[in-house]
Structures are given as structure tokens and as C-alpha cells.
Amino acid sequence: MRVLSHTFLFLFLAQTLMAKGNVYVQSTKAKLLSQPKLSADGFPLQMGDALSPVSEQGLFVQVRAENRSGWVSKLFVSPLPPGNQIKLGITSNSSEAVVARQRASDFTKTAAARGLSETQKMRVRGEGELYDFESLRWLESVPFTHLGYPSDKTNLKEENSSIKNSVYSNSELEVLSETKAEVKVGRSLAARLLKKYPLVKDTELTSYLNSVASRLASVSSRKDLSFRVGVIDTPEVNAFACPGGFIFLTTGSLKKVQTEAELAGIIGHEMGHIVLFHNGEFKQSNVFLDILSGFLAPPGGEVVNAATSTLLDEMEKQLFETGRDMKLELEADEAAVGLTSQAGFSPVGLSNFLNTISKSEGTDSFKKTHPDTTIRIAKLVFFEASATPENVPFVKDRWSEFKAKLKP
């Protein structure tokens, strides 16, 4: 009961866009469509436009925009207003970091006053046996370029310019408090994952994977997040999405990947969970989240309090044991098709990969936490049929160059 009460305080799962008030356009790909499918006719929407939801159908929401009504993909709108992108791996002397350090000190003193053991104190501070923030900071520090995507920098520049020229251009956009809260929890969950499985610290491979993720993210609504993709060393076939934009692929999965389109499909699926708020929404005003250290705190300053640790227990259990609801997994599959097709990758990548692993060994964890692969492939074929990218040239496939870097 206690676990459920803590989880309820943090996560509001199964909320629909209908219950959130306005949604905001956050992608230049957004159109007001005549039907709930990406290939339908429609007219472009502007970055920052506020839309009023009327109903939902799968990955689409019916909205009113001024005197018009139509459909828009959830991939291109967000219940959060436009905000600046969060920057990871940066130390700061900001007031947030100062407060974070003070809270860390206060927690240690409180733990000592209560007579907690050293292990319990480390749990409160986010250290010891449960977290590997050092590896996470390495991942956050890896620079990446848009390898093989000559038009990416231009597209991203235009996208950022569109945000600046939106209705919110009268004042400098700030990083949203909800985004900060989401990243704080996501970093802690990611650090737990990296304690469970070692991070593959290959700068070139990691940079390449993040360039693929960057291209996918550029057509999504989560411009406020700095997506990061890491590789964890385990033969098990699986992939994981943590709130705040942290995605992890296993070496077992990567060895099964044959093309960059398949790689993009896997990343797109995990990104879909994050873009579509499948972990719920996080509120900075929540008392427990307020106690968390700011992500800008210097190395070693991360704080995970007991209440947040309880939440992380539940989220970790979902990753490795219970899995997400089938509806959410299928929605993430549809998101993968939408993101890949809009970003210039073949939309059949994910279904091809699922077909491969359906015949493979080492997929026990994957099957335990995901719907039946046959059902997913059948649904993906339907989604792929309506995916028609708009004058987006397919990208050059460079996966074979990087796959060779994986150990046999």
C-alpha cells in the first residue's frame, strides 16, 4: 500500500491529452490533418500553436485550432508549453546547485540523527550499491555529430529558429520545471540500470547511436529533452527507456540488428515511450521531487531520497519484470513508425528486427516484459502501410561500419 501511495504521488499513468487542457505544437512536421493518419491531407501548424483537444484515436488527437478542426499526431504536440532544451553534464554554481548541495548535507545529517546505518545513508544520497552516476556522467559527456546526415544541422537550426519565432518569442524560453523534474528521476533510474549492467564506454559507437537518436528527436515534440543513448553489456536482447530522454540498448540486441533502419526503429520505439509520457508527468512542485538534487549539481552531489527510491523500485520492476501495458507498447510501436518515416529511415525497420528476434535465443527478458511479437508485427504492418514520408530522402546506412566494433 505504501509503495502504491508513493507511486501515485509521482506518476499519473493512463491520463489522456483530453484531460490536460491545451496541447502545444512543438514540431515543424505538425499538420492539422483531415483524417487520423500521417498520410492524410492537411495544412501546416506553427511552432507554439495552442490546440484544444476534442477526442483521441490511437496516436492521433482531434483538436480545434481557431476556426478549424482536424487531427494531429501526438508525436508533434505536447501538453507542456515550449521550453528551452535541458543541457546535461554541466556543472554550475547556480542557486539550484547550491540548494542541491545544502539538501544533500541536510539529508546526511538527518540520516545520522535517526541512527541510520552507513548503507541506508548511502541509499539516501544515491550512492553505494544501487547507482552508478559516474558512468552516466560519461554518457552525458560524449559529444556526437550528425554522421551521414548532411542536412541535419540545417534542419535542426531551422527547427530552433521556428521556436524562437513562435508566439513565445517575446521572452527567452527557460527549461520547464516539469522537464527538470522528469530528468532528475530519469537520471536516477538510468544510474540504477548502469549499476546493474556495465556501460560500454566506446565513444565512437555511442556518438553514432546518439546521432541516430538526434535525427529522430528532431521531428518529435520533445525539444525540451537532450536524448542520450547508451549501450549496456549483456547478451540479453532488450532495450530500455528511462524518463528524461535516457535510452539503453543491450549488446545482445545490437548484434541482431542488420540495418540502420532497424536500429532507428528500436530507438524510435523507446523514444516513443518518453515522447508520449508513458512514465506519466512529473511535477517540480511535488515535495519529494523538490528534495532531489539538481541535475546541475557537481559530480557526487546527486541525492536520491527514500521516497524517490521507493518510486525507482517500482519503475525498475516495470523494466525487468512486469513490463508496460500492451496498449502503451503498441502505441510506442506506432510512434517508432511515425518517427522513422518522418526522419528519413525506412518505416519497416522495427518489424524486421522483431521478426529476427522472434526466432532468436536470449529473449526471455524481452518476452517477459513485451506483448507477443506476432501481434506487434501484425500491427506494425498496418502502421507501415499508412506511413508516407514527405519528401524526406532516405539516409545512408552506416550501421555495418559500427556493428563491427561490437565484441563477438
Residue 102's pLDDT is 53
Q: What is the DSSP string of 118-133?
A: HHHHHHHHT-TTS--H
pLDDT band at 110 (very low <50, low <70, confident <90, very high): low
Nearest CA to 328 out of 3, 16, 8 is that of 16
Range from 42-51, 94-103, 275-284 carrying the lowest mean pLDDT: 94-103
Q: State the DSSP H helix or E strand holding residue 44, giving kind and residue range, or none if neither.
A: strand 42-44
Instruction: Give percent helix, percent strand, percent coil of the chain, each to the nearest 5.
Output: 45, 10, 40
For residue 285, count other CB atoms closer than 10 A to its CB: 9
Maximum Cα–Cα distance across the chain: 66
Place of cell 525487468: 320
Percent of the chain with pLDDT over 90: 40
Residue 66's pLDDT is 79
Range from 33-37, 106-110, 246-250 carrying the lowest mean pLDDT: 106-110
Quick check: helix, strand or coil at residue 63? strand
Beta strand segments in 127-262, E: 228-232, 239-242, 246-250
Residue 25's pLDDT is 93
pLDDT band at 406 (very low <50, low <70, confident <90, very high): confident
17 compared with 243, residue with greater pLDDT: 243
318 compared with 284, residue with greater pLDDT: 318
Question: For 370-392, what is the mean pLDDT?
Answer: 83
CA distances to 89, 161, 206, 229 from 86, rounded to whole Å, are: 10, 17, 20, 16
Pseudo-torsion of CA 321, 324, 330, 331, nearest 10°? -150
CA distances to 13, 46, 107, 265, 366 from 297, rounded to whole Å, are: 29, 36, 15, 34, 35
Q: Is the dihedral of CA 111, 117, 120, 126 positive or negative?
A: positive
- Give the CATH class of 11-78: mainly beta
pLDDT band at 362 (very low <50, low <70, confident <90, very high): confident
Nearest CA to 238 out of 226, 254, 250 is that of 250
Judged against a pLDDT cut of 50, whether residue 10 lies above it is answered with no
pLDDT digits 0-9 by tens, 312-334: 888 888 787 777 888 889 999 99
Question: For 97-114, what is the mean pLDDT?
Answer: 52
Q: Which ranges in 11-117 belong to alpha helices (H)?
A: 95-113
Domain spans of the chain, in order of start: 11-78, 95-403
Residue 389's pLDDT is 60
For residue 55, count other CB atoms closer than 10 A to its CB: 13
Judged against a pLDDT cut of 80, whether residue 311 lies above it is answered with no
Question: For 42-47, what is the mean pLDDT?
Answer: 90
